[in-house]
Amino acid sequence: MTLNRRELLKVVGASLASLAVPSLNWAAQSPKYYTLPPLPYDYDALEPSIDKLTMQIHHDKHHQAYITNAINLLKSDAKLLEMPPEKLLMDLSVVPEKDRQGVINNVGGHVNHTLFWEIMGPKGGGEPTGALAKAIDSRFGSFDKFQKEMSTKAATQFGSGWAFLVVTNKGELEVVQSKNQDSPIMNGQKPILGIDVWEHAYYLKYQNLRPKYIEAWWKVVNWKAVSEKAATAMKG
């Protein structure tokens, strides 16, 4: 039997896949809190605010890398690996000191990005309604003032990091800056909206123009998702 190129590739692919089975066995039982959540929309769904290639690399490569690194840090202690990541970030004392910064970076990276995909969406933008709108007005004066504060904090975060809208442990809204992948959860705050201002989040399309990216990002914020998170966070 003579195989053409396509058929040959199929056969080679199949045998490679079967070779990979032993190492995939472990992945098949990969810890439930440490699998890449599928993007809830297409890679190009946030165009033109965020381009398809940025979304592909950001979700498939960057987010996956945080997860892989987190697993490698935690896998020697099943108890840690089976803890909800948020719980781990709330009490880092359970993590051996030598691994703590790695956990901050990578478990933080996993949790931050999971939030990031959820609070964006096609047909996003505009302003929130209902209880969240009221809470924003009463805390910041108006939606515009809130937006300005969050944009400024995102634009002026020096180097890599985030700006988050959080619910504090007193149940109040606050906008905070965060360096690297530091999660507000470590400070007892519940992030309900976050903008990633690492260069990997915008550089392909916006290069050095971070404020342009921030301006475009507001157009893809999924306020329904943010409102649901706010309601849950405020319940305590």
Beta carbon of residue 144, minimum distance to Mn ion (angstroms, whole number):
27
Stretch that binds Mn ion, among 11-19, 27-35, 150-158, 190-198 (CB under 5 A): 190-198
Beta strands in the chain (DSSP E): 161-167, 173-179, 190-196
Stretch that binds Mn ion, among 79-87, 186-194, 195-203, 209-217 (CB under 5 A): 195-203
Chain position whose Cβ is nearest to Mn ion: 196
Beta carbon of residue 102, minimum distance to Mn ion (angstroms, whole number):
17
Residues 110-169 within binding reach of Mn ion (CB under 5 A): none
49, 70, 196, 214: which one binds Mn ion (CB under 5 A)? 196
Nearer to Mn ion, 128 or 184 (CB): 184
Nearer to Mn ion, 198 or 223 (CB): 198
Nearer to Mn ion, 164 or 198 (CB): 198
- For Mn ion, how many residues bind (rule: CB under 5 A)? 2
Q: What is the CA radius of gyration of the chain?
A: 20
Beta carbon of residue 89, minimum distance to Mn ion (angstroms, whole number):
17
Residue type at 38 in one-letter notation: P
Question: What is the CA 98 to chain-centroid distance, rounded?
Answer: 25
Instruction: Give the C-alpha separation, 162 to 159, whole Å.
Output: 10
According to DSSP, the residues that pair with 164 across neighbouring strands are 176, 194
Beta carbon of residue 169, minimum distance to Mn ion (angstroms, whole number):
26
Instruction: Give the C-alpha separation, 172 to 19, whole Å.
Output: 54
Q: Which residues are CB-neighbours of 182 under 8 A, at least 6 positions away? A: 104, 108, 161, 162
Nearer to Mn ion, 182 or 196 (CB): 196
Beta carbon of residue 111, minimum distance to Mn ion (angstroms, whole number):
12
Nearer to Mn ion, 68 or 168 (CB): 68
Nearer to Mn ion, 167 or 197 (CB): 197
CB burial readout 144-183, b (16+ within 10 A) else e: eebbebbbebbeebeeebbbbbbbeeeeebebbbbebbbb
- Write the CA distances from 176 to 39, 135, 148, 150, 161, integer angstroms: 25, 16, 13, 8, 11
Instruction: Give the C-alpha separation, 85 to 17, whole Å.
Output: 31
Beta carbon of residue 127, minimum distance to Mn ion (angstroms, whole number):
25
Residues 7-26 within binding reach of Mn ion (CB under 5 A): none
Nearer to Mn ion, 113 or 190 (CB): 113
Residue ranges in contact with Mn ion by CB under 5 A = 196, 198
